[in-house]
Each structure stands twice: as structure tokens, then as C-alpha cells.
Chains A and B, each alone.
Chain A
């Protein structure tokens, strides 16, 4: 295993492996400290960045941070690497790549061509040399468009997942939260419910209710019940109206095993959902969630820092051409991302790394109550992400997810982003909102939606 050296000031530092070098170069975060992988001092961290800047990108094609023989994620990354796409940067160091990404030569088309030539580890490495503004500037140049019943990720667009969770999966309670979101124009990325119970008939009932709503209102949107992918396959086989199979994924085979999945079952779900042909403008069907720290919590990190492993999860996601991918950045807990500063940094990293790899990246801008963060931190992160061109954010009524007990964005937050940055929902959904007199922006008088009619059609009349 190669050893890496760096000199910073008068001190010479030695890094025992590529994984150790990547870990030491990572901006400070509690999860790497918990795993015993973080830089030993601030100078040590910067020394690692000097060494990383000099490292040839080609080194990542020779060295794996998790052994090829032991891990199917590594095998996927190595075996699917596109040498031709890599060619333009093949002679670069990690530092050269950072400079090139920030240059005018790296326009949207060049970045899209490069994506299959980059491995997750290369992308993680370059992100560690980039300041927050660099992560924003480059991500903004990457456009990733996906389609199912609408078109997500276009220029000047910001989509939202409407998350109407209810602690008892009460269908009327869910419908009220859906209505709350629709009044603010939310739901074009997906109306996605985390069920309180994974019971199959329960999940199917929720799916049917959402599908009936879509058909009744002729809504160009997709729905999802975020249950385990094996449950979704069963629901598909039983004839349930599945638009998008969902799964939490991670960057190592062992961590995915902790989630009860492997690459084969993800492929099975993708094939099953695509075979239904339910999309109208496209057939991207998978929905993945990720989050820094998941492999460590499953004791499956192989001595690799949590951010590098997170980007490997994106390497998994891109094999299935998903409709939606989001990091649940502030949800995993303070033992991985301690405070607002760490959550904001990680949110920008995750979004940038996903986009650079060609993923339709969204972010759950969120926190739990034991993280040192509050709504001001979320305001900062969502504003930065809107500047970075995030595909979608997650919204719940009043920022309060009463089922999962954490705080995400509110529908009003998405309205703030749209108004402040001049962003609009997916075009098909935007046209539907206009037809329904819902969530129209702009000055001057406008028609109010027929709330009574909506309530009646949604079966919520008393």
C-alpha cells in the first residue's frame, strides 16, 4: 500500500494510505473524530490538502480505499469507469482538477461529458480542496435533468418533495398535509410519505390514495411511499400503483447489507418499476436517500472518512439512473455532523459531489434537536443550495415532521427561495398549478384557489 508525504512549514507528515490521506484532508466533523480518522491538528489537515493537491487523479484508478475483492461497491465503481470520458483529465492532479472545474473551460456540457470518467473517490478528493463558494460555483454549472411525469432539474427550476407524514398513517391526516403543501405549490419532485408502519397493505393503501388524488386532479406528479425496496417489489408484484421505488443506500457493501439491500435487489426494483411504464414524459424511477455517517453507524466504514463513503453511495445511485437522490444531511445526528457549520458544509459537499457525478441531487435541509443548529442555519443552507442550483428540497408542514421527529424545511421556505431567486417549479407542474389557481406568484390581484372544492374532492368534507 503506498504511503504519502507532505511538508507544511517545518513539519513533515506521513499518511499511511490513500484513505488516511483523504480522511486527514477532510474539513473537521464529529463523525471522523468518532471513528478516529480525523486530522490530528489543524496544520495536519492542511498538510494533507497540500499532499492531496499533488496527487495524480490516475492514482485513484490504481488504489481502492475499500478492497475490490471485499466490496461490490468498489467493483461497481472500478468496472463501470469510463476511460474515454476520463481522458481529458487523465494527466491532472487533484489540485489541477479543482482549478479546471473553476475555469470557464468547464461549462455544463464539458462537465456532463466528464461525469462518467470520474470515480466517487476522485470527486470526494477534489471537494476536500474546495471552499464552500467553489462547491456552489461548480455545482451551479452542472445541470442534471430527470423525468417521470414532469421534468426536474431544468435551468431556473426548483422542485420540492411534499412530505405529508402522519404518526399513524391516517389517510385524512395525510390528505390535509398534502393540501397544505399544494396551496404553497409544493410536490413537483414527489409527494413522498415515510410510513409509520411498513405493513404491506398499509403502504399499498397510502399509495392508492395518492394515486387516486393524482388521477382525480390530473396532476403531473409522482408519488412514493418510502418503505424498504423489497416491500416495494412485493407491492409491484401484487399490482399496487408504484411510481418510484425508494431505498436508503450507502457507500460500502457492508453498510448496504445493514440496510438489507445489495446491488442486485436495487436493479430488480428498478427493472420492476420501469416495466410498469407509468411515467409519461420519462422513465427515471428510482428514489435514493443517503447521508454522511451511515456506514460508521453500521460499523462498516473500512477506515474511510464519512464524506468519501457518502460519495461512493452516489456511485451506487448513478448505476440506476434515478429520478431523485437526496442527502438527509442533518438527520443522521450530531455524532456525525455536530453543528450548523458542519451540516452546512456537508450539505454543500453532498450536493456538489452528486451533481458532478451526474446525479439529480436534492437535499433534505434538516436537523434534529440534539444537533447544535436552528432555523437560521437552515435558512443559510437552503439559500446557498438555491444559489448552487439544487434540484429539489424537502418540505413538511411548518418545518415539523411529526412522524420522524426532526425539522426540515417548510412549504413557506420553498416559496421564499422561489421568490428570492426567481425559481419556478417543474414546467408541467407549474402549468397545472396555474390551472388550479394554486400558488401563483407575482404582483397584482389573482384568483384564490377554490379551497372548498379542493376539500370536497379530497374527501375531507365533514
Chain B
């Protein structure tokens, strides 16, 4: 192969992996374009972590669907505290706790910013709409919108609502290539101190090769119905449907 043919080969091979391969036969330093592209991706990830979610837009979208919303905050007062103190992100601030009514819905839904504001701003309201549409028989409580929260904060919210089942939609830690990935965690009999092994997780909900809204909704609707049937989530609840989407390896 001549040197002139390198670019074609590199182009073809690069398509086989999402990695930032250069396949540079001369072993030279990274070109500035690659350096700046990396910095742009890192900046997007940092902004996703550091910016507030578009709570107004999420509220408008949910109330437009006829759902109530409930604005809540964890005990982590700022993003800096949130990053350093995972324990505080798992607990509700006292005034937030006082605002939750024991409405006893079938399913409590909490939208939690987590580590990607971009993910919840982009996907959370759409996912709530899709899930509500797929489960007409299920009564959903007011949707909790939680600032500076981690997954486990849903336990306290759902317990206060006296809901038997909790669905947390949360922004996942951004990588360089995907900064808007949403995760969904389902917990039966939620209460503070619940072990993570008692939850089911559907992760990688996003539009860049992740799980589509349709496939995520299909899987979550199945898991929600099965959880209500079994009275359990976690290791006891498996996606045992033939050729169903994989729980751990979304395409």
C-alpha cells in the first residue's frame, strides 16, 4: 500500500469502532484538530454535569400531559456539596419532605438531575409521557422533580407518598461521546436504606446508539407490570422474555 492510500483505509477502519483511533503510521503527535475535538467533548460533559436542568421546560411538558409536579431538593445544597457528599444527595431536605402528600399512587415517578442535566432536560419528560401512555391501568402520583439528587432519594419520596413502586429517571455520568444518557431505576417497596441489589436498572437511554424511547418504554412497562405481579424488584425480577432487549447491554 502506498502512503496515498492510507486515508481510505483509516476511514474505513475507523467506522468499526467509536474509539478515537488515528491509525497514524508515522506515530506522530496528536493533531490540533483532535485535541480541540476532545476538549469540546469534555466541555459538553462538564456543562452537562455543572449546569442546572431545564426544570421549567420539564414542568411545562408534564403539566401539558395533565400530570402534577412537585419541586423537591436533596440535602446537598449546592452542586459542589452534591459532588463531594453522595450521602446528602440520597436524602430529602426537610422542607421538601414536608411537601409530599401521602396520595398512595400505584407508581411514584421521580425525575432526578443526577450527573447529567442535559439528559433529564432532553429525555425525562418524553419518557414519562411514553411510560404513562403504555400503562393506562396504573395511577401515577405527582411527578417529583428533584434537584441535586441520587438514585436512592426516590426511596424516601415514594415512601412518603405511600407508593408501593418507585421509578427514578436520572442523568447518568457523562462520557466524552455521550453526555445525555438517562438511566431508569425501578424499586419495589421503596424505603430509605434499600440495597441497590433490590432495584432493576435500564441504562443508556439516549439517541446516540443508546436505547430508544420505544425500547426503553417497552422494557420498563414489562418490568413495572412484572414487579407488581411478583411484589419484588432486583435480582428476583428478570427480563425473561424471548428476544427482549437486554437489561445490561442495550444496543
**A197-B249, A369-B174 are known contacts. Are A452 and B38 too (CB-CB below 8 A)?**
no
**A176-B16, A415-B29, A451-B1 are known contacts. Are A183 and B24 too (CB-CB below 8 A)?**
yes
Contact B25 A183 (CB under 8 A): yes
Decide yes or no whether B34 CB sits under 8 A from chain A.
yes
Decide yes or no whether A15 CB sits under 8 A from chain B.
no
Contact B27 A338 (CB under 8 A): no
Contact A448 B25 (CB under 8 A): yes
Contact B85 A180 (CB under 8 A): no
Chain A residues in 8 Å Cβ range of B248: 197
Considering the chains assembled together, what is the distance between the CA atoms of A172 and B174 in angstroms? Answer: 26
Contact A369 B17 (CB under 8 A): no
Chain A residues in 8 Å Cβ range of B64: none
Residues of chain A in range 189-204 having any CB-CB distance to chain B below 8 Å: 196-197
Considering the chains assembled together, what is the distance between the CA atoms of A172 and B14 in angstroms? Answer: 10
**A370-B49, A439-B27, A448-B3 are known contacts. Are A173 and B83 too (CB-CB below 8 A)?**
no
Considering the chains assembled together, what is the distance between the CA atoms of A428 and B204 in angstroms? Answer: 42
| Size category, B interface | 35 or more
Decide yes or no whether A431 CB sits under 8 A from chain B.
no
Decide yes or no whether A412 CB sits under 8 A from chain B.
yes
Least distance between B17 CB and chain A CB atoms (Å): 4
Decide yes or no whether B241 CB sits under 8 A from chain A.
no
Q: Identify which of B21, B26, B46, B251 contacts A176 (C-beta below 8 A).
A: B21
Contact A448 B26 (CB under 8 A): yes
Contact A34 B84 (CB under 8 A): yes
Decide yes or no whether B139 CB sits under 8 A from chain A.
no
Q: Identify which of A170, A173, A334, A402 contacts B84 (C-beta below 8 A).
A: A334
Contact A460 B176 (CB under 8 A): no
**A369-B42, A369-B49 are known contacts. Are A172 and B1 too (CB-CB below 8 A)?**
no
Q: Identify which of B30, B83, B179 contacts A412 (C-beta below 8 A).
A: B30
Decide yes or no whether B60 CB sits under 8 A from chain A.
no
For B79, give the chain A residue with the smallest CB separation: A370
For A396, give the chain B residue with the smallest CB separation: B19
Decide yes or no whether A179 CB sits under 8 A from chain B.
yes
Considering the chains assembled together, what is the distance between the CA atoms of A397 and B41 in angstroms? Answer: 15
Contact A370 B115 (CB under 8 A): yes
**Which of B4-12, B213-221, B229-237 forms part of the interface with chain A?**
B4-12
Contact B18 A167 (CB under 8 A): yes
Decide yes or no whether A416 CB sits under 8 A from chain B.
yes
Contact string, B101-121, partner A, CB cutoff 8 A, digits 1/0?
A: 000000000000001000000
Considering the chains assembled together, what is the distance between the CA atoms of A220 and B16 in angstroms? Answer: 26
Residues of chain A in range 353-373 having any CB-CB distance to chain B below 8 Å: 368-370
Chain B residues in 8 Å Cβ range of A64: none
Contact A400 B177 (CB under 8 A): yes
Contact B19 A180 (CB under 8 A): yes
Chain B residues in 8 Å Cβ range of A449: 25
Considering the chains assembled together, what is the distance between the CA atoms of A64 and B41 in angstroms? Answer: 47
Decide yes or no whether A406 CB sits under 8 A from chain B.
yes
Decide yes or no whether A398 CB sits under 8 A from chain B.
yes
Contact A335 B38 (CB under 8 A): no
For B88, give the chain A residue with the smallest CB separation: A34
Chain A residues in 8 Å Cβ range of B3: 448
Contact B19 A400 (CB under 8 A): yes
Considering the chains assembled together, what is the distance between the CA atoms of A448 and B178 in angstroms? Answer: 35
Decide yes or no whether B226 CB sits under 8 A from chain A.
no
**A369-B49, A402-B177, A460-B13 are known contacts. Are A173 and B19 too (CB-CB below 8 A)?**
yes
Contact B12 A462 (CB under 8 A): yes
6 A-B pairs with the lowest CB-CB distances in the bound complex, closest first: A398-B20, A452-B1, A405-B175, A173-B17, A369-B45, A180-B21
- Provide 16 A-B residue pairs closer than 8 Å at the C-beta atoms, listed in order of the A residue: A30-B84, A34-B84, A34-B86, A170-B17, A173-B17, A173-B19, A180-B19, A184-B24, A335-B83, A338-B84, A369-B175, A369-B179, A405-B174, A410-B20, A451-B6, A460-B16
Given contact pairs A184-B27, A438-B27, A449-B25, a sample of 18 additional A-B residue pairs in the complex whose CB atoms are under 8 Å apart? A34-B86, A34-B87, A173-B18, A176-B19, A176-B21, A177-B17, A179-B23, A183-B24, A338-B83, A369-B49, A369-B176, A370-B49, A370-B173, A374-B42, A397-B21, A402-B19, A453-B1, A462-B12
B interface residue numbers (CB < 8 A to A) = 1, 3, 5-6, 9, 12-14, 16-30, 34, 38-39, 41-42, 45-46, 49, 83-87, 115, 173-179, 248-249, 251
